[in-house]
Amino acid sequence: MSKLLKVNLKLMLRRKDTMICVIMSAVLALLEVLIGKLNGSLDWYSMFEMPLIMMMFFSAVGGLFISRDYTQNTIRNKLTVGHKRSDIYLANQITETLFFCISLIIFFAVSSAANLIVIGTKGAVFSDIMKNMTVCFFAVVAVSALTTFLAMTVKSAAGGVLPIILMYPLLMFAAMAQEFGESKWIRVFNDIIPLSQMTALAMPDKRAAIHIVYSLILTVFFITAGVVNFRKADLK
């Protein structure tokens, strides 16, 4: 699997769309600080609003990256030279996760540096900020697992479009859930869905542990389901 991973990483570094996303992470971090400063609403929790938008782009680009295996017929070539299906899937998953997480690390690093320069440590509680970042990272890993699952299941260029199509209703649910009050079932869904978790990070997350656990469960579920499905898939 190490050879597959090395090839994937080289391809990702050569693609313009993935590199644009990485650069965009830094640009969006600066833009978020600038807009917050101009509006007079900048604080240390403002940085957690932008990753939700970033996931839309990353899922599309990540899905298209994986779908090239089908559009360029490279999956058959990988199988022909003796690579296992599970190794192919896991290599794609690891590549996606690295792409998502490295971009997020760049965003948080630039945003934190800009916040220190502009507002200093005013209102910053280190433990709360780190807790929110951890929740965000695990939520992003879960989204990357979902993106890989969809792209490897669709087996076409639509793998880059389907994650966005799925995210729109999830985002709508996360927004509308705020209007439904403190319903028990709404709270459960908000705890489970990674995008809903991310919408709640504009303040210290009081349910960080349960959010991380749910993200881990979703990640394991999508990876396991994806590997099982890909092993049985007809690639003719």
Assess whether pLDDT exceeds 60 at residue 126.
Answer: yes
Residues 114-142 have a mean pLDDT of 92
At how many degrees (to 10) do helices 85-118 and 50-71 cross?
Answer: 150
The average pLDDT across 186-203 equals 85
What is the average pLDDT value for the chain, to the nearest integer?
86
State how far the Cα of 119 lies from the Cα of 206, in Å rounded to an integer: 24
CB 98 within 8 A of CB 90: no
Kindly indicate the confidence band of residue 101, based on its pLDDT and cuts at 50, 70 and 90.
Answer: very high
State the greatest distance between any 2 C-alpha atoms of the chain, in Å, as a whole number. 59
Asked if residue 23 has pLDDT above 80, the reply is yes
pLDDT at position 131, please? 95
pLDDT of 5 > 80? The answer is yes
What does the alpha-carbon distance between residue 89 and residue 4 come to, in Å, rounded to a whole number?
10
Q: What is the C-alpha to C-alpha distance for residues 31 and 188, in angstroms, rounded to an integer? A: 33
User: Is the pLDDT reported for residue 181 higher than 60?
Assistant: no
Q: Is the pLDDT of residue 204 over 70?
A: yes
- Closest by CA to 22, choosing from 100, 77, 90, is 100
Averaged pLDDT, 88-102: 93
Identity of the highest mean pLDDT range in 65-69, 99-103, 183-187: 99-103
- In this predicted model, which residue has the larger pLDDT, 236 or 80? 80
Contact 11, 61 (CB under 8 A): no
